[in-house]
Amino acid sequence: MINTTDYISGMLLGLSLIIAIGSQNAFVLKQGLKREHIFFICLFCALSDAILISAGVAGFGAVTARYPHLVDMARIAGALFLLVYGLQSLYASWRTSHALTVEGQVVTSLKKSLLLCFGFTWLNPHVYLDTLVLMGMVSTGASSKVVFASGAVTASFVFFFALGYGARLLRPLFAAPKAWNILDALVGILMLYLSWHLYHSS
């Protein structure tokens, strides 16, 4: 019989770790607003979380604890990635005129979108600390690590698909090009802040 307590605990912890606004979530929201490759972006994010959560629960957190320089390398690479993307977003907010009402408009290819999503996901050192270390540590108190991990993975799938497909509810607001420019500016500022925060974090 499935231990529902472990499942719910894993789900709640998973939601608490990914629900905060971050670079990855901002990117998923943006793709949802543009209706560009939403399914594949959400699937990539959820599967990436599933892999990391499974590794953390399986005990990979011990590896990062023993070799902390791996997290430092990811931190520097992530800071540089966020810096570049943040500057691009600020430039787009100033120079680009978006028209969300144009039918058939595709701004970014699937390949480029997935590469960007890869950067936001796998070059973010916090994701390793959250999934490999924290998730792995908390799972030690569960009677069934498999059930605990399943709950956390479920939370990731539900959250990312809800965020990606739920973004369409905001499309009327972003029908005006100016609103999209403001979003680009806010995303750019967020990316630059996260880049600064990663670079100066210990």
The predicted-structure confidence for 19-45, as pLDDT tens digits, reads as follows 766 789 889 988 998 889 999 999 999
pTM: 0.74
pLDDT band at 96 (very low <50, low <70, confident <90, very high): low
The alpha carbons of the chain give a radius of gyration, in whole angstroms, of: 18
pLDDT band at 46 (very low <50, low <70, confident <90, very high): very high
The encoded tokens of residue 108 equal 């970014």
The encoded tokens of residue 174 equal 């972003």
Angle at 109 (CA atoms; ends 107, 110), nearest 5 degrees? 130
Residue 76: what pLDDT? 81
Please determine, for residue 150, whether its predicted confidence score (pLDDT) is greater than 80: yes
What whole-number distance in Å separates Cα of residue 101 and Cα of residue 58?
Answer: 47
